[in-house]
Structure 1
Amino acid sequence: MKIINIQLLVLLVLLVITSCSNNEEGDAWEGLEDGKSTLIRDLAGDTNGSMSGQTPGKTKKGFDTFLFRFSDRRQIWIRNAADSAQYLKTKDWDIAFTGPYNSEVYVNKGSYEFNPGYGGTATSSVVKIDKPYAEVDAAPSDQEFAASEINKIGWAVNESANGWFFYSLDSHIMIAIKNRTYVIQLPDGKYAKLELINAYQGNPPTVTNLNWPAPYLTFRYFVQTDGSKNLKTK
Structure 2
Amino acid sequence: MRTIKNNYKSLFVLLVSLAITSCSNNEEGDAWAGLEDGKSTVIRDLAGDTNGSMGEEAEGKTKRGFDTFLFRFSDKKQIWIRNAADSAQYLKTKDWDIAFTGPYNSEIYVNKGSYQFNPGYGGTASSAVVRIDRPYAEVNTAASDEDFAASEINKIGWAFNDSADGWFFYSLDTHLMMAIKNRTYLIHLPDGKYAKLELINAYQGNPPTVTNLNWPAPYFTLRYYVQNDGSKNLNTK
Partner in structure 1 of residue 58 of structure 2: 55
Alpha-carbon RMSD across the aligned residues, in angstroms, is 1.5
| Alpha-carbon distance in structure 2 between the residues aligned to 1:39 and 1:226 | 20
Q: Percent identity?
A: 84
**Does residue 206 of the first structure (1) align with residue 209 of the second (2)?**
yes
Within the candidate set 163, 173, 176, 2:179 is matched to 176
Q: Which has the higher helix share?
A: 1
| Alpha-carbon distance in structure 2 between the residues aligned to 1:170 and 1:53 | 22
Residue 89 of structure 1 aligns to a residue whose secondary structure is: coil
Partner in structure 1 of residue 157 of structure 2: 154
Partner in structure 1 of residue 113 of structure 2: 110
Residue 193 of structure 1 aligns to a residue whose secondary structure is: strand
| Structure 2 letter corresponding to 1:226 | D
**Does residue 71 of the first structure (1) align with residue 74 of the second (2)?**
yes
Compared CA separation, residues 59 and 131, structure 1 to 2 (3 A): same
| Residues 181 and 193, structure 1, Cα contact 8 Å, conserved in 2 | yes
What residue ranges of structure 2 are gaps of 5+ in the alignment?
A: 1-25
| Alpha-carbon distance in structure 2 between the residues aligned to 1:211 and 1:168 | 20
**Does residue 193 of the first structure (1) align with residue 209 of the second (2)?**
no
| Structure 1 letter corresponding to 2:71 | F
Say which structure, 1 or 2, has more relative contact order (CA 8 Å, 6+ apart): 2
**Does residue 32 of the first structure (1) align with residue 12 of the second (2)?**
no
Q: CA deviation at 1:219?
A: 0.3
Partner in structure 2 of residue 85 of structure 1: 88
**With structure 2 as the length reference, what TM-score do the two structures score?**
0.86
- Name which one, 1 or 2, has greater alpha-carbon Rg: 1
Within the candidate set 141, 165, 169, 1:138 is matched to 141
Residue 163 of structure 2 aligns to a residue whose secondary structure is: coil
| Residues 172 and 210, structure 1, Cα contact 8 Å, conserved in 2 | no
| Residues 197 and 223, structure 2, Cα contact 8 Å, conserved in 1 | yes
| Residues 173 and 210, structure 1, Cα contact 8 Å, conserved in 2 | no
| Alpha-carbon distance in structure 1 between the residues aligned to 2:85 and 2:129 | 28
| Structure 2 letter corresponding to 1:89 | K
Within the candidate set 126, 147, 164, 1:123 is matched to 126
